[in-house]
Structure formats: structure tokens, C-alpha cells
Amino acid sequence: MIVVISDTHGEVENIRSILNKLRESNPDLVVHLGDDYDDASFLLAGVIGTLSHVLLDSPLYGDIRPFYPIEENPLYNPSLPIHEFCVLTLPIGALMYLIILMRASIHRASNSRDA
């Protein structure tokens, strides 16, 4: 099944509702014909999250098939320090998140003064 979503206009709750319903039907492909910059950021975040999840889990678990339909997992290498990598990059992610929150707060404050 292929699902095409369009005209979301930044309605985040509607997008979340659609995605939650789609999880139950397990589509082969979801295409978003985004019409708003914020929609594109959600799509990009989903793609990055999916790819990073596969890349971080593939070396740890031999039953993951990152190159489906190929049955083997050529990335399987449990000796790689994946957990240590995640712990070490946590402060970087937390700092980036705080910077984004601060910038959004400053942006909201400047918009409320202008209104």
C-alpha cells in the first residue's frame, strides 16, 4: 500500500493522527507532498531518525536486516562501542536542543512585541 499525504498546512496534530493510524496498516510507502516549511522539517526528522536508528542498531543485533530483502546483516559487529558513542553524544544533543529552545523563545518574544 502506498499512502500520499498533502495539504497539511502545518497542522501538526492532524499529521500525528494520520501517522498513528498508518502504523496500524503498515504501508509500504508514505509520501508527503508538503506545502509548508515546517512540514518538511517533520519529514526530514523522520527520515534522519529512521536511518540513524537502523545504523545504530544494526551493529548490535544480528537479526536486523538493514538491506532487506538481503537476509544477512553485514553491519553486525557487537564489539563496536555503540552504547558509549550514544552516551558521549548525549551532551551534544542536549546542548543543541537547548539552543533551539532559546532561539524559539527569543523569536516568540520578538513576535509578541511586534504584534
Residue 49 belongs to some domain of the structure: no
Q: Give Cα 92 to chain centroid, integer Å.
A: 17
Residue 36 belongs to some domain of the structure: no
Per-residue pLDDT at 60: 93
Residue 40 belongs to some domain of the structure: no
Per-residue pLDDT at 88: 95
CA–CA separation, 97 and 51 (whole Å): 20
State how many domains the chain has: 1
Find all residues with CB under 8 Å of 36, minimum gap 6, and list them. Answer: 8, 9, 10
Residue 103 belongs to some domain of the structure: yes
pLDDT digits (tens), the chain, 115 positions? 888 887 777 777 887 888 888 888 888 888 877 665 566 777 788 889 899 999 999 999 999 899 989 999 999 999 999 999 999 999 999 999 999 999 988 888 887 776 6
Residue 110 belongs to some domain of the structure: yes
Residue 105 belongs to some domain of the structure: yes
Residue 73 belongs to some domain of the structure: no
Per-residue pLDDT at 36: 57
Residue 3 belongs to some domain of the structure: no
Helices (H) and strands (E) in the chain, counts: 3, 2
Domain range for 115 is: 81-115
Q: How many CB atoms lie within 10 A of CB 34?
A: 20
